Structure 1
Amino acid sequence: MSFSKLSSVIVRRKCLPAITVAGVNFGNRKTFGTSNTLCTKLAQEKKPDWNRAVSEAEKIVGYPTSFLSLRWLLSDEIANVALHLRKLVGSNHPLLKTAKSLLYNGKNNMQAWGLIVLLISKAAGHSADIPELEQDKAAGVLHSQRALAEVTEMIRTSHLVHKGLVNLQAPLADASGDMMFGNKIALLSGDYLLSNSCAELANLRNQELVELMSSAVRDLAEAEFVGPRDKQNNPLPARPRSDIVEYKQFTDKTLEPLVVSEALGNARAEWTLRHVLNAGSLLGKSCQGTLKLAGHPLELQEQGYLFGKHLALAWQACLDREPFLPNVSGSFSLVSAPVMFTLQHDPTLYEEIEKGQESVDDVDYEVVRKAVLTGPGLEFTKKLQKEHSTAALEVLNQLPASDARTALANIIAAMQDL
């Protein structure tokens, strides 16, 4: 779905002298390319369309990254999986929908995560003591950074595939062998990608990076156990609380687990918690890890984490608003920001949500949609998206001007307004 128009975004082309960010003097950092001058490419015309913003960004890092794990997908093992997937055609197994969404080149999935990691890598540059053999000068990143970007996408993809598993309870268990077969394919495919990502990560021989990315995998797993769920593990929002207190758990201590119980029932805190665990942690820690590989100090690495986390949350807020656009119908996530903010505003709506304890299909989505459209939920979500977009841009704007920085700014601009 295309985005509505925004006012023109014009960035003046200018060259910057030495810049200090979080204690790092970028004037002495080593950059790739034939020129020592860093100039921001003119970002002009209208607000970038999503596909165009991603396409232009891919050119900057040298090749399409919407599926960095393609070489794994072309292996004999995955080729056999693809053949078996044909047996599921015509069934209702969610793995088919997952496969379609992964291959669809649109903004409604986040297969551009590897691209984000490579762009922040190129925008920040690397320390001067990185060996020449480690540098991919054509793309402007390190070989280890490219490997980490691939690891990020493989972890994300394996998580999405694993989420396609069906809880085979009656009558599903007796209906067809297709569901059991689909579960086997989803489990093995997800395990294959995850195991390859672990092997690739180990090959980088960086213990701190392994620990960092392992904590991101832990967060992805924990996200599947936050709050109430129906029998198919579809998430439901927690009952709204009246005694809302500020939730201060989202700190820069990126290896520490988040405290779940304190956030449940608080719309903003619960939504943030769910999506930091489910998305923000992986992207944030990947951005942090790529700056670690480049030899940047801890202060800048933490800024990279904040950039990735805020970008993921802004992205999710953008997606959460789409089901409530004019002329859009059908089901939607009951833990999306508009729904949760509406529940906070009108707790009586939770009676409708409770109907989904057995299955979310028992919820009358049109009743919930009407409540969202007439309540403040959409406006609060728009403010939430703006807040995280601004926070990501604040980190980004501290980096020296470059084509990579402009490309990231264009990606953020492409999801500003629906």
Structure 2
Amino acid sequence: MPGINQIKLPIAAEIDAFEEKFKASMHSDAPLLDRITHYIVKRKGKQIRPMFVFFAAKLCGGIIESTHRGAALVELLHTATLVHDDVVDNAYERRGFFSINALWKNKIAVLVGDYLLAKGLLLSVNNSEFRLLQIVSEAVKQMSEGELLQIEKVRRMDISEELYFDVIRQKTASLIASCCACGAASAGADEETIEKMRLFGEKVGIAFQIKDDTFDFGTDDVGKPLGIDIKEKKVTLPLIYALNRAEKPEKKRIINLVKNHQDEPEKIQEIIDFVNARQGVHYAHEKMLQYQQEAFDILYSFEPGDARTGLEQLVRYTTERKK
């Protein structure tokens, strides 16, 4: 599997240029806001989402100025949702850094999220990028609906496999789908091609989230069990599969443990052992490979070239990573 830097090579110049433009797009004349947005930019991750936008554009016609705006729009709106999520979740860390609400409190964090949303809207409207705005706004709407659906169902612990896929399709996959659709749209692709790229991104996003959910239970493939989702009472695919294979009394006991573990390590470990004993992680891994292959089937319908190879490597990186 290629490292992230190897994947980046074919579009390295575009990503470097994007980072500068993205910094400029977040600038504010208000000193406090400018200080906070500078902090956000400084701790940006591996730029996976912009890479999907740029590779998709390159695959569908070529990278132009509109592609940079599409990537910036995705990042602005997504960053806004993350800032708001940390307030909702009372989270004080993100990727090893203090969250905005941890450093500047909830009120300021909410206002910063609003500011980023407004910057994204203005970037689109001022440049007449209405199709890109439509694509990304639809994704943000779906992310909110998916989050609310999960909150509602987690309380009742009645999540089926079908519902699980509905939630992750909206919560996670819709964002990667919007990246790929934005890239295609920015390159002037027709609606059929835009939809094909959106569906490709959706398949990748589902595979990505399934892979992420296996980390909680830990096998030799994914390392030490984390139990983070269990602590947050999230019902993910490995647990759903294991519960469906259990007898009614044991199923009831495990659900009760998930609801009332009180962060006790031995209870969390019991849930992890239950899932692994019933091949929950193995089943989830097979499902992840299924969605990965469906994404490749769509990708391979495009002409071979650097962009297609780059997207294939990016898919493998996001779905076969070790952490």
Q: TM-score, normalised by structure 2?
A: 0.79
Amino acid paired to 2:56: I
Q: Is 1:325 aligned to 2:219, yes or no?
A: yes
Q: Is 1:313 aligned to 2:216, yes or no?
A: no
Amino acid paired to 1:354: K
Number of aligned residues: 296
Q: CA deviation at 1:294?
A: 2.8
Q: Is 1:103 aligned to 2:46, yes or no?
A: no
Q: Is 1:117 aligned to 2:10, yes or no?
A: no
Q: Is 1:410 aligned to 2:304, yes or no?
A: no
Query: Corresponding residue for 1:285?
Result: 178
Query: Corresponding residue for 1:236?
Result: 154
Residues 163/298 of structure 1: CA separation in 2 closer, same or farther (3 Å cut): same
Amino acid paired to 2:154: L
Residues 183-202 of structure 1 mapped to structure 2, 5 A cutoff: 183-202=106-125
Cα displacement string for residues 165-193 of structure 1 (whole angstroms, at most 9, x for unaligned residues): 1578xxxxxxxxx8795212321221121
Q: Which moved more, 1:315-324 or 1:381-390?
A: 315-324
Q: Is 1:48 aligned to 2:18, yes or no?
A: no
Q: CA deviation at 1:82?
A: 6.7
Percent identical residues: 20
Q: 2:57·2:183 contact (CA, 8 Å) conserved in 1?
A: yes
Q: CA deviation at 1:237?
A: 7.3
Q: CA deviation at 1:74?
A: 5.3
**Secondary structure of the structure 2 residue equivalent to 1:236:** helix
Cα displacement string for residues 278-324 of structure 1 (whole angstroms, at most 9, x for unaligned residues): 12122213322332333322221110110111111111122222231
Q: Using the alignment, how far apart are the partners of 2:207 and 2:21 within structure 1?
A: 23
Query: Corresponding residue for 2:82?
Result: 160
Q: 2:11·2:54 contact (CA, 8 Å) conserved in 1?
A: no
Q: 1:280·1:312 contact (CA, 8 Å) conserved in 2?
A: yes
Residues 258-407 of structure 1 mapped to structure 2, 5 A cutoff: 265-267=159-161, 269-323=162-216, 324-326=218-220, 328-333=224-229, 334-346=234-246, 347-348=251-252, 349-355=254-260, 361=263, 364-407=267-310
Amino acid paired to 2:43: L
The structure carrying a bigger helix percent of its residues is 2
Residues 397/293 of structure 1: CA separation in 2 closer, same or farther (3 Å cut): same
Cα displacement string for residues 51-104 of structure 1 (whole angstroms, at most 9, x for unaligned residues): 234433542645276797333455445433379x8xxxxxxxxxxxxx69x926
Q: 2:52·2:183 contact (CA, 8 Å) conserved in 1?
A: no
What is the alpha-carbon root mean square deviation over aligned residues?
A: 3.1
Q: CA deviation at 1:215?
A: 1.8
Q: Which moved more, 1:283-292 or 1:218-227?
A: 283-292
Query: Corresponding residue for 1:70?
Result: 23
Q: Using the alignment, how far apart are the partners of 1:161 and 1:280 within structure 2?
A: 19
**Secondary structure of the structure 2 residue equivalent to 1:217:** helix
Q: Using the alignment, how far apart are the partners of 1:67 and 1:382 within structure 2?
A: 38
Q: Which moved more, 1:392-401 or 1:278-287?
A: 278-287
Q: Is 1:143 aligned to 2:65, yes or no?
A: yes
Q: 1:157·1:190 contact (CA, 8 Å) conserved in 2?
A: yes
Amino acid paired to 1:214: S
Q: 1:279·1:312 contact (CA, 8 Å) conserved in 2?
A: yes
Q: TM-score, normalised by structure 1?
A: 0.62
**Secondary structure of the structure 2 residue equivalent to 1:292:** helix
Q: 1:236·1:335 contact (CA, 8 Å) conserved in 2?
A: yes
Q: CA deviation at 1:331?
A: 3.0
Q: Using the alignment, how far apart are the partners of 1:68 and 1:284 within structure 2?
A: 23
Structure 2: gaps (5+ residues): 91-100
